[in-house]
């Protein structure tokens, strides 16, 4: 199963070279980040790292999409049928291979609950000896967020404004 996920990830990496539209690149990167998080989730005991990875990747993609959509011109979305057919054929090839090997999607199922005996690293982060470090990190992040929100000007930012003055 992990070999199939890795091969699909590398095939998607090859598709990225042929993409010209920012929307298609963004969709491919979102699908790519889901596959990478599935691979990480199947390799680890807990799914917390997988969830945090997907949230960070999708958040970064949203920021990139905002910048690209404000900078790029209004070009039409051209759907490349050859790449779509190639992707569908590869998907059905791997799906057929997975069914023939009698593997199901149950092997990709994430850990439903939190079992603290398996994820001892999370216990070490929030124990009493690291309490001051955790409080310092929370205060530092809140202070940084407040400073950044005061520094950023709403009308003089890097994005184009929608109202023309």
> What are the boundaries of each domain within the chain?
2-113
- The whole-number average pLDDT for the span 152-160 is 60
The structure's pTM equals 0.48
User: Is residue 51 a contact partner of residue 57, using CB atoms and an 8 Å limit?
Assistant: no
Between 48 and 127, whose confidence is greater? 48
Q: Is the pLDDT of residue 103 over 60?
A: no
The pLDDT score that the predictor gives to residue 85 is: 77
Instruction: Quote the pLDDT of residue 34.
Output: 81
pLDDT, averaged across the chain: 69
The model's pLDDT over 45-79, given as tens digits with 9 standing for 90+, comes to 777 778 888 888 888 888 877 777 777 666 666 66
Q: Is residue 33 a contact partner of residue 54, using CB atoms and an 8 Å limit?
A: yes
Q: How many residues does the structure list for the chain?
A: 165
| In the predicted structure, residue 88 carries a pLDDT above the cut 50 | yes
The whole-angstrom separation of Cα 74 and Cα 70 is 9
Judged against a pLDDT cut of 70, whether residue 124 lies above it is answered with no
Do 26 and 64 contact (CB within 8 A), yes or no?
A: yes
């Amino acid at each position: 199963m992990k070999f199939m996920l890795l091969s699909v990830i590398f095939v998607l990496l090859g598709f990225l070279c042929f993409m010209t539209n920012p929307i298609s690149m963004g969709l491919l990167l979102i699908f790519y980040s889901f596959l990478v998080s599935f691979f990480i989730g199947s390799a680890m005991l807990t799914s917390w790292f997988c969830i945090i990875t997907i949230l960070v990747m999708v958040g970064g993609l949203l920021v990139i999409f905002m910048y690209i959509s404000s900078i790029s011109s209004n070009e039409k979305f051209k759907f490349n049928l050859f790449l779509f057919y190639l992707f569908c054929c590869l998907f059905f090839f791997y799906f057929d291979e997975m069914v023939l090997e009698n593997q199901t999607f149950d092997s990709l199922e994430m850990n439903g609950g939190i079992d603290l005996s398996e994820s001892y690293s999370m216990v070490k982060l929030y124990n009493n000896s690291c309490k001051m470090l955790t409080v310092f990190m929370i205060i530092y992040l809140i202070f940084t967020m407040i400073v950044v929100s005061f520094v950023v000007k709403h009308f003089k930012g890097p994005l184009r404004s929608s109202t023309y003055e």
